[in-house]
Structure formats: structure tokens, C-alpha cells
Amino acid sequence: MIKTPYGLQLLYGAEEIRRRVQELAREIRADFDGSKELLCVCVLKGAFMFFSDLVKHFGDNVTTAFIRLSSYRDGQKSAGGVRQVGRFAEPAAGKDILIVEDIVDSGFTLQYLIRYFKKRGAASVRSACFLDKPHNRAVKIKSDYTAFTLSENRFVVGYGLDYAQKYRNLPELYELKA
Ligand code: IMP
Ligand code: MG
């Protein structure tokens, strides 16, 4: 692994991410054939880069929306609570929804989102997640589409993901070394 001047360790480079996201986008697109509108919901802030790269490959009959959530985290760990920041104004009833998330860690956030859109009468709810961190799972949940899975429990930054709002702008994914 490459040591960087940030004190971060590179996990996935920009080109590897680009290729994997493109591959995942094609897989998703093949399942949603484009005959019906697909509402892609970006979960802010962490998913903004993944979302932007993913939806570029979807082509026709796609709409986009943004939801902002805040999960109560104690340092690098989930404390279990999920709160919505602001109002989600987009009608969801009768729609096929793809939730686009950065990370599934404890699973509380994804569980909240799936329930949220089902309650609003979505026709179907699926999820695409950039990174699966299976080690801290507190609820039994799995994303329908996953770009990468961490084999060890790591705290990661870059490609939209932050630590104290920093590093989101980096095009690669890094492990944060304290
Ligand atoms: P969950 O509700 O515990 O599944 O947490 C999901 C949220 O926690 C993600 O959407 C991230 O915003 C944040 N998160 C979890 N692990 C990491 C990490 O390693 N780096 C940055 N953010 C993380
Ligand atoms: Mg998030």
C-alpha cells in the first residue's frame, strides 16, 4: 500500500473505482430495463461522488433526488440513531426507487431509508452501496448492489467519505490511520 502525505493509506485508486462503478452501473441498468422511470436517491453527503459516477451510465428514464441524513456517530462508530435533515419533497408513491448510499456499516441508515420509502408507497425499493463494511452490522440487512466489500474493519475516507468533514474531495479511497 502507498503511504501518502496525508497519513492515509490507499485502498482503491481512482481508476479501479471508475471501472468497478461502471461495471456495477451496467448490472443495475440490466435489472431496470428503462421501460419504467427509476428514481435514484442520493444520500448526502457521503454518496455524492459515487452517485454522480453511477448515474452517468443509466441513460434514459431516470430521475434524481437527494436526501440528507445524519447518523449519530460517536467518533468512528454508529450510535444507532438516524435523523433526517430537512424535508424530502419528491413524491415517491408508485415509483421504483434506487437508494444510493456510501457505506453500509451498522445498517441503521439503510434500514431507515428502506422503511422511509416503503412507507411513502414506493412500488419497489432497492439499494446500491459503494462500500459494505460487514464487521459492525447491528441489523440484518444487505444492499442489493455493492461496489466493494471491506475484508477487515477499517475506517475509510475519500471518494465522498469524510472524517470530521475532511477528505471527501479525494478521488481515491483511503484507510484513515490515526
Ligand atoms: P450505518 O448507519 O452504521 O450503516 O452508517 C452508515 C453511515 O456512517 C455511512 O453512510 C457513513 O456516512 C458513515 N460511516 C460508516 N463507516 C464509515 C467510514 O469508514 N468512513 C466514513 N464514514 C463512515
Ligand atoms: Mg452516509
pLDDT of residue 122: 97
Q: How many angstroms separate the alpha carbon of residue 34 from the centre of ligand 1?
A: 31
Atom of ligand 1 at shortest distance to CA of 136? 3
Residue 2 forms part of a structural domain:
no
156: Cβ contacts below 8 Å, ≥ 6 apart = 11, 103, 131, 150, 173, 174, 175, 176
105 within some domain = yes
- Asked if residue 76 belongs to a domain, the reply is no
Q: What is the pLDDT at residue 88?
A: 86
79 domain-assigned: no
Structural domain includes residue 64: yes
Is residue 81 in some structural domain?
no
In tens digits, what is the pLDDT along the chain, a chain of 178 residues? Answer: 455 555 899 999 999 999 999 999 999 999 987 889 999 999 999 999 999 999 999 989 999 999 999 876 666 677 778 888 888 888 999 999 999 999 999 999 999 999 999 999 999 999 999 999 999 999 999 999 999 999 999 999 999 999 988 999 999 999 998 7
The finding on whether 109 has its CB within 6 A of some atom of ligand 1 is yes
Q: Is position 162 annotated as part of the catalytic site?
A: no
Residue 169 lies in a domain: yes
Residue 82 lies in a domain: no
For ligand 1, atom 15, name the residue with the nearest CA. 105
46 lines ligand 1 (CB under 6 A): yes
CATH code assigned at 150: 3.40.50.2020
Domain count, the chain: 1
Q: How many residues does the chain have?
A: 178
Is there an atom of ligand 1 within 6 Å of 132 CB?
Answer: no
Domain of residue 153 covers 7-71+87-177
